A = this chain, B = another copy of it.
Amino acid sequence: MYDVIIIGAGAAGMTAAIYTCRKKLNTLIISIDVGGQTNLTSHIENYPGTGPMHGIELMRRFQDEAIGFGAELVMGKANKVDKTENGFKVGLANNEAYECKALILAYGKVPKSLGIEGEEKFMGRGVSTCVTCDLPLFKNRDVAVIGGGNSAVEGALESATIAKKVYLIHRRETFRADEITVEKLKNSPNVELVLNSIPAKVIGDKNVDGIAVENVVTKEKKELKVDGVFIEIGYVVDTSFVQHLVKVNEKKEIIVDERGNTSCPGIFSCGDITPVPFKQTVIAAGDGAKAALECYKWLTGGKGAVLDWTH
């Protein structure tokens, strides 16, 4: 029986853990990854106080601090939450279960998938949703990047510095990415734009051998020989497994008040899974601290965390 289970180990969840642990709450973090969205930023400059660094490095520091203050970390996908007599029970995809008195939902957004043949089969074995994390595997090899937004265009640019050849596959003719980034892309000699095209299938036996694409205008089909596929088509909110407990908005984001309270007493939420409009590391961290202190206050009968500077 933990005092607190935090689902998610990005900036919000890890900061929440730092705060609950410093309040001596017995804390377990359950997450499918460590670092969340911040990992995807190769050069984070706007998190105050640290100077520029890779997002992965910054999140490693958050992790070291959370673990250092006593948080436990279990890797896995939480997919079931039930109310119990004294709190909550969190079930994982591998059928493990953990119990807690209070719960902080901080697992952010989940990368969107294409839903095509071969995608799931090769996920983590040639198909990836994180250029920054997995690009080193494709040094001097050929890759495809799917998408048309900033993440895809920046991912293609980053790939071009390490991969031999990069195909950027985008279903439209124009990009939603910033113009300056698209301009850089067009000047990259080893990037080939595959526009008006959608991926149809990831091809391969044991490894990825290529990707089949179809031109949505000409209906022409072709196969591109690649060793890796990066899917950069955005994120979805997955709150289906908690909607019987907490209220969500029309985007399925978990509704919170300004302190991270959800509609269910004992469940708190913070970070990109909430309607916060700005997806920034320092904002997720700040809201993680709020949710943790509000959680502490709730567990201690309201006398806890409201720090009173007026003595």
List A residues at the B interface (Cβ < 8 Å). Answer: 11, 14-15, 18-19, 22, 37, 45-51, 58, 61-62, 65, 109, 112, 147-152, 176, 232-235, 258-259, 272, 276-280, 282-287, 289-290, 293, 305-311
The residues of B that contact A286 with a CB separation of less than 8 Å are 280, 282-287, 289
Contact B289–A278 (Cβ < 8 Å): yes
Identify which of A259, A289, A311 gathers the most chain B CB atoms within 10 Å of its CB.
Answer: A311
Contact A311–B234 (Cβ < 8 Å): yes
Q: A45-B22, A61-B51 are in contact. Are A152 and B283 (CB under 8 A)?
A: no
How distant is the Cα of A109 from the Cα of B109 in the complex, in angstroms?
Answer: 36
How distant is the Cα of A259 from the Cα of B276 in the complex, in angstroms?
Answer: 8
Residue of B nearest to A270 (CB): B286
4 tightest CB-CB pairs across the interface, nearest first? A286-B286, A149-B311, A234-B310, A234-B311
Q: A48-B18, A58-B49, A258-B258 are in contact. Are A306 and B277 (CB under 8 A)?
A: yes
Residue of B nearest to A280 (CB): B289
Partner of A282, one of B37, B278, B289: B289
Number of copies: 2
The residues of B that contact A282 with a CB separation of less than 8 Å are 15, 282, 285-286, 289
The residues of B that contact A308 with a CB separation of less than 8 Å are 149
Q: A19-B46, A283-B286 given; name 18 further pairs at CB < 8 Å.
A: A46-B289, A47-B49, A49-B50, A49-B58, A49-B62, A49-B65, A149-B311, A150-B311, A234-B311, A259-B277, A259-B278, A272-B309, A278-B289, A278-B305, A278-B307, A282-B285, A283-B290, A286-B287
How distant is the Cα of A151 from the Cα of B309 in the complex, in angstroms?
Answer: 8
Contact A309–B277 (Cβ < 8 Å): no
The residues of B that contact A65 with a CB separation of less than 8 Å are 48-49, 51
- A97 to B: closest C-beta gap in Å: 29
Would you mind naming 6 contact pairs between A and B with Cβ atoms under 8 Å apart?
A48-B61, A50-B61, A176-B311, A277-B306, A282-B285, A282-B286
Residue of B nearest to A311 (CB): B149
The residues of B that contact A46 with a CB separation of less than 8 Å are 18-19, 22, 289
